[in-house]
Amino acid sequence: MQNIKFVPTEAPKQKPETSKLSFGKSFTDHMFVMEYSPDKGWHDARIVPFANLTLHPASTVLHYGAEIFEGLKAYRTPDGEVQLFRPMDNIERLNDSADRLCLPKLDPEFALEALKTFVATEKSWVPDEFGTSLYLRPFLFGNDETLGVHTIQNAVYMVIACPVGSYYPEGINPVKIMIETDDVRAVRGGTGYAKCGGNYAASNRAGEVAEKKGFSQVLWLDGVERKYIEEVGAMNVMFKIDGVVVTPKLTGSILPGITRRSCIQLLKDKGIPVEERLLSVDELLTALQEGRLEEAWGCGTAAVVSPIGQLSYQGKNYIINNFEIGKTTQDLYDTLTAIQWGTAEDPYGWTVKI
Ligand code: PLP
Ligand code: COI
């Protein structure tokens, strides 16, 4: 395994006030970096002061979107220690994304070691209020200095981190979501299941329209028939219909969320049936109109478990559960966050101590 060189910052930053934390605006003192080349493999692993990058103007990432990323959090537990939530799942998904975009993969054991070493370095940046955490953003990009469209030879892997509070300004209060009928995010056979920057760039136009209309995010429909529910911009979705939790199955165009996977397990262990299947927008809205849609929520690392209080489709607004957080949503939020923040036992072995 490579050694990780450490160059400490000479100018430590002032940390933001925990009570005022938002999402992704302030960054810690250091960053993890290493490079890949065909002759050396991954090399020069280092933790260095947080700084701007210098890139060749022809760098592949700037022209052909060769970029993948991850998102996970470090949580401060009641005993003052720090833990990660299912970090190996993020590393494995990063490697799946790398496979899709033909970027070099990481050695999973080393990637975990690097994450842990980086978080240990930035430990003082992990905020200690329940609901706050240190968001980690690993990312990997192609960095060949040529405009030819070729298989990528050179790449960079980095991890940056920011102390965060709620992703949505609403916190755990319900959000409003617009079902998108024009643009599509991804298609089967495309890159929907990979966590690559291009998926988010393709989402921007619909997101901007939704935001202007007062919605937090867009709910995507499948790219072929525009009929089946897929996911929201930064979270997977779950609907409780007639006592059963229905979540879109992983068809290849949806991100296989780690929070989704965790929620499915928690729900099943609570005795709540879960169906991973195709769910059409018609079926969903019929259930809503007939009063059978009991609750809806999104789930993701940044968004945690976030109730959906309103859906809009073709200009009509539909209120879910009186725009209140539902019992199952709240219970799921409480159970998941207790494991993540270490206020309850982790019977699943999901947490990894730093
Ligand atoms: N779907 C999309 C498009 C996302 O960006 C995210 C966030 O990472 C998720 C789902 C949820 O995935 P996870 O729970 O692994 O964070
Ligand atoms: C995450 O939840 O980690 C994400 O990557 C969502 C992000 C697009 C804000």
Atom of ligand 1 nearest to the CA of 199: 3
26-81 pLDDT, tens digit per residue, is 999 999 999 999 999 999 999 999 999 999 999 999 999 999 999 999 999 999 99
71 lines ligand 1 (CB under 6 A): yes
237 lines ligand 2 (CB under 6 A): no
Domains of the chain: 5-166 (3.30.470.10), 175-337 (3.20.10.10)
165 lines ligand 2 (CB under 6 A): no
pTM above 0.85, yes or no: yes
Tell me phi and psi for residue 353, to 5 degrees.
Answer: -75, 145
83 lines ligand 2 (CB under 6 A): no
pLDDT at 349 over 90: yes
Helix, strand or coil, per DSSP, at residue 97? helix
Atom of ligand 2 nearest to the CA of 135: 3
CB distance 177 to 133 below 8 Å: no
193-222 pLDDT, tens digit per residue, is 999 999 999 999 999 999 999 999 999 999
Angle between helices 87-101 and 258-269 (to 10 degrees): 130
257 lines ligand 1 (CB under 6 A): yes
Residue 188 confidence (pLDDT): 87
72-98 pLDDT, tens digit per residue, is 999 999 999 999 999 999 999 999 999
245-265 pLDDT, tens digit per residue, is 999 999 999 999 999 999 999
Give one word for 207, left, alpha or beta, with left for phi > 0 and alpha for psi -120 to 50: alpha
The C-alpha angle with vertex 347 and arms to 346 and 348, in degrees rounded to 5, equals 90
Question: What's the 235 CA to ligand 1 centre distance in angstroms?
Answer: 5
